[in-house]
A and B are shown apart, each in its own frame.
Chain A
Amino acid sequence: MSFLITGLLAFGFYLILTAGSGTILGGWSAAELIAGAVTALIVAAASSRLLGQRCGAGALNPLRWVLAFIYVIGPLFWGMAKANLDVARRVITGEIRPGIVKVKAGLAEDLGVTMLANSITLTPGTLTVDIDDESHDLYIHWIDVKTDSPSIEDISGGFSGWIRRITE
């Protein structure tokens, strides 16, 4: 099952990158279609086990993909914009108070913790340095430390609530 899904994803991605190369099905040449299929088979053989291990079947629910898309263009982008202006001010004034703080992620699944860590890293001002594999605690480099033991809301606003809705 995961072999098929990984293969289809890889093939779809290849088709996006080579669109416009010919006339079959409206935009592909036969050579690209064959090369894409062979590449997709190799990718699926090499990495399908990884996808099955890390994500589980729930990751393919289309509703979650829609939620994830809304999350990226809505709250995540807004958070990035706000934080970028804040860091832009700090770049110009040089006013920083850095430190590495420990935060409880409060998420159970690996995929959710990965998404949260990436969201935190993507917003300027906070940078995930390390993750505790067992307790899922995040160690975060914070450019403006306000408290020594912050909650996840202090660091990332509403991100963790959104990610819980997407992944669990």
Chain B
Amino acid sequence: MSPLEILIYILGAVGLFFNTLGTVALFRFPDVYTRLHGATKCTTFGSIFLTLAVILYGLTSWQSGGESRYGILALHAAVALVALLVTNPTGAHAIARAAHRSGVGPKFAVVDALADEKGRRK
């Protein structure tokens, strides 16, 4: 196995590890906000590594075999990575905002400045 192949496997393993943790977080944490931490952020970080593994795999296959479709695979994975980085926090923010607006408070919270602010306005 070449060093590059080993690197691809390491990147894939790191990505899988964080994605698994994100899934575990769904079961461990008590409410929607803390679950969002695990489910959206750990999986973004894991997916970065998985995408890097795909990009590296595409580039090395392109180099060794000469088939351009592997280069295109790497290119598309890079575009997907950028899209992921932009849309994932936006989605997490939208879910959290919608949850708070519809009256779902954070459980076990030591402080809730947003609810205090809304109470003052009413």
Give me the interface of A with B, judged by CB distance under 8 Å.
13, 16-17, 19-20, 72, 80-81, 83-84, 87-88, 91-92, 94, 96-102, 117-119, 121-125, 127-130, 139, 141, 143, 145, 148
A contact residues around B25 at 8 Å (CB): 87, 91
Contact B69–A99 (Cβ < 8 Å): no
Bitwise interface map of B from 21 to 59 toward A, beta carbon under 8 Å scored 1, else 0: 100110011010110111001101100000000000000
Contact B97–A129 (Cβ < 8 Å): yes
**Shortest Cβ distance from B86 into A: residue:** A118
**Shortest Cβ distance from A149 into B: residue:** B113
Partner of B108 from the list A96, A117, A141 (CB cut-off 8 Å) is: A96
Whole-angstrom distance between the alpha carbons of A119 and B114 in the complex? 20
Partner of A118 from the list B21, B68, B89 (CB cut-off 8 Å) is: B89
Least Cβ–Cβ distance between A11 and chain B, in angstroms: 15
B92 within 8 A of A: yes
Contact B106–A20 (Cβ < 8 Å): no
Whole-angstrom distance between the alpha carbons of A148 and B44 in the complex? 28
Contact B89–A124 (Cβ < 8 Å): no
With A141-B33, A141-B106 known, 12 other A-B pairs at CB within 8 A are A88-B21, A91-B28, A96-B34, A99-B109, A100-B111, A119-B89, A121-B90, A123-B41, A124-B45, A129-B33, A145-B111, A148-B113
Partner of B44 from the list A99, A101, A122, A130 (CB cut-off 8 Å) is: A122
Count chain B residues whose beta carbon lies closer than 8 angstroms to a beta carbon of A: 44
- A sample of 6 inter-chain contacts (CB < 8 A) reads A96-B34, A98-B33, A99-B109, A99-B110, A124-B37, A148-B110
Contact B111–A88 (Cβ < 8 Å): no
With most chain B CB atoms within 10 A of its CB, the pick from A19, A97, A118 is A118
Contact B114–A130 (Cβ < 8 Å): yes
**Shortest Cβ distance from B105 into A: residue:** A100
Least Cβ–Cβ distance between A19 and chain B, in angstroms: 6
Contact A87–B42 (Cβ < 8 Å): yes
A contact residues around B71 at 8 Å (CB): 20
Least Cβ–Cβ distance between B105 and chain A, in angstroms: 9
Whole-angstrom distance between the alpha carbons of A119 and B109 in the complex? 23
Contact A129–B85 (Cβ < 8 Å): no
B contact residues around A128 at 8 Å (CB): 89, 93, 96
Contacting residues of chain B (69-112) with chain A, CB-CB under 8 angstroms: 69, 71-72, 75-76, 79, 85-86, 88-90, 92-93, 96-97, 100, 106-112
